[in-house]
Amino acid sequence: MARPRWQPSDRLHARAMVTPAIVVLAVVALYPILAAVWLSLQRAILIFRERRFIGADNYNALIHDDRFWAAAGHTLYFTVVAVALELTLGLAFAYILHRAIRARGLLTAMVLVPWAIPTVVAAKTWQWLYDADVGLVARALPLQDVDLLGMPGWAMHAAIVVDVWKSTPFVALLLYAGLSTIPEDLYRAAAIDGARGFTTFTKITLPNLRSTLVVTALLRSLDAFRVFDAVYVLTEGGPANTTETLSIYAYKTLMRSGDFGYGSTLAVATFIALALLAAVMLTAFGRQALR
């Protein structure tokens, strides 16, 4: 069957339909990005009412800023550990939901409860649970005199636990949807051939779930890399900046120090890091998994 040809009027109509969406995206997304880039090329300190163009000086200072590199390291560590745990636990929960015969709706609702709670509310609740004096989590630990949010080394992992608890339901929901698309005939054929348990999981489930895993990992990595609210509520980047992420560092520079020029430079650097992270993940996993 011959493909219908587009008429000039059809093309004009299609462009007219798409134009409002393009304008909205340009205003909502593109303009703030360009404004931040332009501001990052200036020395703009609100309290001194100083604003002048300085070119790439902010970026040169960024390269030699040890605090920036420390925040980048904290952000990367948080992302890698949190996303790895979320994918592992999310896949386990998704598999349980997929195989559940009874009360599947109730189980799904229970799994989604942490995700439905606003992040700030969840972080504040966990802050109370972590409290060294009255917190249930702190009192349940076998170690004594441990301040989970006040001791370097402990604070970052306490924040990771909160993020894993909050985001694992989202991962489980996406992976459960992916599991639902795998034909049951594959499992029946494997059972006839004598495949059981782990073999079925590695030879059938994982290969057919690869695309969903890649997309889920990408979404969660981008979200975790720009983490702000949960960590800020828990520690505000402390103790001694050991949980300070790029987003928190940018916020402190912008809003507390009033240095809008260097703060915008940090924001632009975070945006570039996110773009590079997405490019690396898509290059490493996306071409094969998303075919």
| CATH code where residue 135 lies | 1.10.3720.10
What is the count of structural domains for the chain? 2
Same domain, 281 and 160: yes
| Residues contacting residue 58 through CB under 8 Å, at least 6 positions apart | 40, 41, 42, 43, 261, 262, 264, 265
Upper half-sphere CA count for residue 174 (Cβ side, 13 Å): 22
Instruction: State how far the Cα of 248 lies from the Cα of 159, in Å rounded to an integer.
Output: 14
| pLDDT beneath 70, residues of the chain | 1-10, 100-101, 103, 143-144, 286-291
Q: What is the pLDDT of residue 238?
A: 86
Quick check: is 2 in a domain? no
pTM of the entire predicted model: 0.86
Upper half-sphere CA count for residue 17 (Cβ side, 13 Å): 6
Instruction: State how far the Cα of 160 lies from the Cα of 166, in Å rounded to an integer.
Output: 10
| Domain assignment of residue 226, given as a range | 66-289
Quick check: is 70 in a domain? yes
Q: What is the pLDDT of residue 1?
A: 46
Q: What is the pLDDT of residue 84?
A: 95
Strands 42-45 and 50-53, sheet pairing:
antiparallel
Quick check: is 177 in a domain? yes
Same domain, 155 and 220: yes
Same domain, 147 and 49: no
Q: What is the pLDDT of residue 127?
A: 92
Quick check: is 220 in a domain? yes
* Residues constituting the chain: 291
User: What six digits make up the tokens of 211?
Assistant: 């695309």
Q: What are phi and psi of 36, to 5 degrees?
A: -65, -40
The DSSP H or E segment spanning 168 is helix 154-180
Instruction: State how far the Cα of 276 lies from the Cα of 162, in Å rounded to an integer.
Output: 26
220-244 burial, b at 16+ Cβ within 10 Å, e below that, comes to bbbbbbbbeebbbbbbebbbebbbb
Instruction: State how far the Cα of 209 lies from the Cα of 204, in Å rounded to an integer.
Output: 8
Quick check: is 158 in a domain? yes
Instruction: State how far the Cα of 251 lies from the Cα of 260, in Å rounded to an integer.
Output: 10
Same domain, 247 and 280: yes
Cβ(287)–Cβ(211) under 8 Å?
no
Instruction: State how far the Cα of 29 lies from the Cα of 69, in Å rounded to an integer.
Output: 27
Same domain, 49 and 192: no
Same domain, 193 and 90: yes
Cβ(262)–Cβ(58) under 8 Å?
yes
Same domain, 14 and 157: no
Same domain, 17 and 112: no
Same domain, 79 and 135: yes
DSSP 52: E
Q: What are phi and psi of 210, to 5 degrees?
A: -60, -45
Same domain, 86 and 42: no
Quick check: is 221 in a domain? yes
